Chains A and B, each alone.
Chain A
Amino acid sequence: MDPQTQHRQTATRRAVLGLAAGLPLIGGLAACGSSGPGASSSSGGGGGSGTGASFWSLSGQPQEDIRKQSVEQYNAANPNEKVTLTLFQNDAYKQKVKTALGAGQAPTILWGWGGGGLKSWVDAGQVDDLTDFFSQNAALKDRIFPSSFGAATVDGKVYALPCETVTPIVLYWNKKVFDKVGAQPPQSWGDILDLVPKFNAAGIAPFSLGGQSRWTNMMWLEFLFDRIGGPEVFQAVFDGEKDAWSNPAAIQALTEMQKLIKANGFVKGFASITADSNADQALLYTGKAAMMVHGAWTYGGMKNDGGDFVSSGGLGYMNFPGVDGGKGDPSDSVGNPAQYLSISSKASADEKKAAMDFLAKSQFTDEMLKAWIGSGNIPVVQGSDSLIGGDDADWLKFQYDIASNAKTFAQSWDQALPPTQAEVLLDNIAKLFQLSISPEQFASNLNAVIGT
């Protein structure tokens, strides 16, 4: 599974944390300040003297072991500048980093998702510009997929090292169900709309969707915006252009989206289904739904939980098809272009030096690349397809081709936008899918928060 998965599958745990994080707000935000020292005490070598650097990252298998491995290998080779790794559960990490940064207790090396979250760190002056680092390590930079740098760049400067894995969002389909109904996988948006009545007539939901999670709905819009209007449409939003959501291509995408919903393209009651329970995947592999648009990270879940569904070749996958007459390139993809490592600007010069050295040497060794591929993921490194093998070779190859062929590999919108806008976006997406607002209302609600 992908780190993003943990992020997403733990909505429930996040909610539990919400108890801890949300309720005291009533009592007082002042408490936030007092949790700073706690953060520092758990950061281990964070404030420690001498050389070395502290590194915070996410727990959860299989990534946890690979991250540990990167640190252990580095420390073995560099006994004088040891990196101390502290792992946090995904949602705890988000709060912890926020609190630690606010209290000036951040670790030297910060793991992150890039995009809007990284921008909020940059705006607060918390992380260092790594442009010089990349000019000194040009060979390293050239190995990494160029598309993964977008989410690491703020105002033309690179603030993070793209690392770990690239996870596209893809269209999955259940081959057995398609055989039963006698349907062909869709080659275009028009095909998708034509398949809907066919599956509905057979009593099978055309698409599975965990609509309660909201970002699941968002993946559809990401593709439709790209396929209809090209990547510029969302880029304009990202750049804060006035009324960017009112672009005719955006309105057309939103209208097409509601057309599919009105035609019962999604499983009945989709707004009650959450992605963190994996009920949406279950609908696909139990044959109750024919297709699903979801992140590459769900492959592992379906392989584990779906019986012989994946191993018997029941699972088909493809990139999201194009829209007839659309401007976008059907090879474009969206998802998580990479994970990101940044360096705290509050760290001492020695710590920063150790951290840069770690960034330069630890992430893309052969052992690391093999470990990531072994976990069913594609590292953000060009040519890593040469290491692909084993049961899932076809799947890995498919992912690698998407990642390496995509002219634009867009970051998920909710990660790309600053948190404030992302919340409004998710909110309005939920309403759009409930058909309680029109595309025009959607656009005007979101235009109102552009640039905030």
Chain B
Amino acid sequence: MTAGPGTVPVPPSVAAPRGGGRHGSLWWLVVPALVFFVTFGVVPLLGVLGLSFANWNGIGAITPGGLGAWRQVLGDPGLLHSLWVTFEIMAISWAVQTPASILLGTFLAGPQRYRGFLAVLYVLPLLLSSAALAVTWKALLDPNFGLGAGLKIPLLSQNWLGEGGLAVGVVIFIVSWQFVPFHALIYQGGVRQIPRSLYEAAEIDGAGRIRQFFSLTLPQLKYTIITSSTLMVVGSLTFFDLIFVLTAGGPGDATRVLAVEMYQTGFLGNQMGPASAIAVIIVLSGLVIAQLLRRLGGRDASASQLEGM
């Protein structure tokens, strides 16, 4: 109860506005974050939405364009292709990263000293900027002066960034290489949250390590998996830096994801209207996918996995 002056019980009719006042004070706590979010999140988003119905080349006057930009974007086979490439890279890199991160995270969750040491090594790629990584990998993958030529291993001297399929593979590999450590850290935290007693019980029941992993660790990581997957999937929607530096969407348009398509349309092609329409599509896809993943986790997100503990 509220600590009012005096000990006279407060009648409910008086308590209500007070309660309201308390709610008010809580509401104010949100203001800084809200202002920030509205200024830098919502307002620009509305601006983009507005621009997607306008004609603007970036330097001239902005004129209303009706549905022209949307018609152009939706009628462009390039958009479907970019969507396909985006989801292809999203799906495959998720499928590669998730198992790898879970295994690595579980491994790193162990108390052994050497694992702590390895954990430090694993996060190294995370410390580097994507642009720097892309420049480095590009040099390593150069067919004439790169790793393959330097070590005289012809197998490594492929046309890595020059053939569509290979280039997509290279992008997925580098993305995974860069982000697996991050997700492994998340899983490491998740695994460490699982109570020891569950494992002790499983051992008494005669479960081996593999059985323990599949029947205990994995189910207990359910929400961690959803969190990490959301980050991966939504993150790959806006994936731009690495791909732009590494392949610039090439060869041809083989690795042109939505974000690169948007950049090229807007900043190289000077068509801010269609670029904004693509931006809106990216935002919508991100929202839909994040929502779907939440649903996947079950509506009772607050339900405990530790019932009876």
Q: CB within 8 Å of B: which residues of A?
A: 11-12, 15-16, 18-19, 21-32, 95, 98-99, 101-102, 120-121, 123-126, 211-212, 214, 267-274, 277, 279, 282-283, 288, 418-420, 422-424, 427, 430-431, 434, 436
B243-274 interface (Cβ within 8 A of A): 244-245, 247-248, 250-253, 259, 262-272
Given A29-B276, A272-B161, A427-B253: A420 in contact with B44 (beta carbons within 8 A)? no
Question: Nearest B residue to A15 by beta-carbon distance?
Answer: B245
Q: Is B153 an interface residue (CB 8 A)?
A: no
Given A22-B263, A125-B60, decide whether A271 and B251 contact each other with a Cβ distance below 8 A.
Answer: yes
- The chain B residue with its CB closest to the CB of A414 is B268
Known contacts A29-B51, A120-B57, A272-B159; is A18 also within 8 Å of B240 by CB?
yes
User: A19 CB to closest chain B CB, in angstroms?
Assistant: 5
Per DSSP, are chain B's interface residues mostly helix, strand or loop, or mixed? helix
B144 interface residue per 8 A CB criterion: yes
**Does residue B203 face the partner (Cβ distance < 8 Å to A)?**
no
Taking the nearest CB of chain B, how far is it from the CB of A348, in angstroms? Answer: 20
Beta-carbon nearest neighbor of B51 in chain A: A29
> Given the known A-B contacts A101-B59, A420-B269, are A18 and B250 also in contact in the complex, defined by CB atoms under 8 Å?
no
Residues on A with beta carbons closer than 8 Å to the beta carbon of B88: none
Closest residue of chain B to A429 (Cβ to Cβ) is B252
Instruction: Tell whether B200 is near chain A: CB-to-CB under 8 Å.
Output: no
Contacts of A124 in B (CB 8 A): 57, 59-61
Given contacts A23-B238, A25-B279, 6 further A-B contacts (CB under 8 A): A19-B241, A26-B262, A29-B48, A269-B158, A271-B162, A419-B270
A99 to B59, CA, bound (A): 7
Tell me if B162 and A269 are in contact (CB < 8 A). Answer: yes
B259 touches A22 (CB 8 A): yes
CB neighbours (8 Å) of B248 from chain A are 11, 15, 212
Give a binary string over B37-48; 1 marks a CB under 8 Å from any A CB, 0 the rest: 000110111111
Contact: A268 with B159, CB < 8 Å? yes
**Of B28-36, B135-143, B222-230, which binds chain A?**
B135-143
A419 touches B244 (CB 8 A): no
Task: Flag if A277 contacts B48 (CB, 8 Å).
Answer: no
Chain A residues with CB under 8 Å of B44's CB are 24, 27-31
Within 8 A of A (CB), among B52-86: 57-61
How many residues on B have C-beta within 8 angstroms of the other chain's C-beta atoms? 61
Partner of A272, one of B162, B271, B282: B162
What is the 8 Å Cβ interface bit string for chain B, positions 93-134, against chain A (1 contact, 0 not)?
A: 000000000000000000000000000000000000011001
Q: State whether the Cβ of B157 lies closer than 8 Å to any Cβ in chain A.
A: yes
- Which of A23, A30, A99, A271 is close to B240, meaning CB atoms less than 8 Å apart? A23
Task: Please list 28 pairs of residues, one from A and one from B, whose beta carbons are closer than 8 Å in the complex, sorted by A's number.
Answer: A18-B245, A21-B263, A25-B266, A26-B259, A26-B262, A26-B279, A26-B282, A27-B40, A29-B279, A30-B46, A32-B58, A124-B60, A212-B250, A268-B159, A269-B143, A269-B157, A269-B158, A271-B159, A271-B250, A272-B142, A273-B143, A273-B144, A274-B138, A418-B270, A423-B265, A427-B252, A434-B162, A434-B252
Contact of B145 with A by CB under 8 A:
yes
A12–B252 Cα distance when bound, in Å, is: 18
Sorted nearest first, the 5 A-B pairs with minimum C-beta distance are A28-B44, A271-B162, A30-B47, A269-B143, A124-B60
Chain B neighbourhood of A30, CB < 8 A? 43-44, 46-48, 51
Cβ-neighbour of A28 out of B45, B60, B250 (below 8 A): B45
Contact between A16 and B240, CB atoms less than 8 A apart: no
**Nearest-neighbor residue (CB-CB) of B41 within chain A:** A27
The answer to whether B275 and A25 have CB atoms under 8 Å apart is: yes
Q: Are B270 and A15 in contact (CB under 8 A)?
A: no
